[in-house]
Amino acid sequence: MDVICQCGTVKFTTPLPKPLALYVCHCMQCKRTASAAVNSSAIYPRFAVPVLPALSVYKYARNTRFVSYFCKECGTRLIHITPSKNVVSIKAACIIGLDWSSAVHLSTLCSMLPISEGSEATVESPEQTGTAAPAGGDIK
Say whether pLDDT at 135 is over 50. Answer: no
Give me the domains of the chain, ranges plus CATH numbers: 2-122 (2.170.150.70)
Task: Give the predicted TM-score (pTM) of the model.
Answer: 0.76
Q: What is the pLDDT of residues 49-70, one digit of tens each?
A: 988 999 998 887 666 677 889 9
Q: What is the pLDDT of residue 118?
A: 65
CA-CA-CA-CA dihedral for 92, 68, 126, 14, to nearest 10:
40
**How far is it between the farthest Cα atoms of the chain?**
43
115, 99 contact by CB (below 8 A): no
| Alpha carbon distance 43, 104 (integer Å) | 12
| Each residue's pLDDT tens digit, 68-110 | 899 999 999 999 898 888 999 999 999 999 998 888 777 655 6
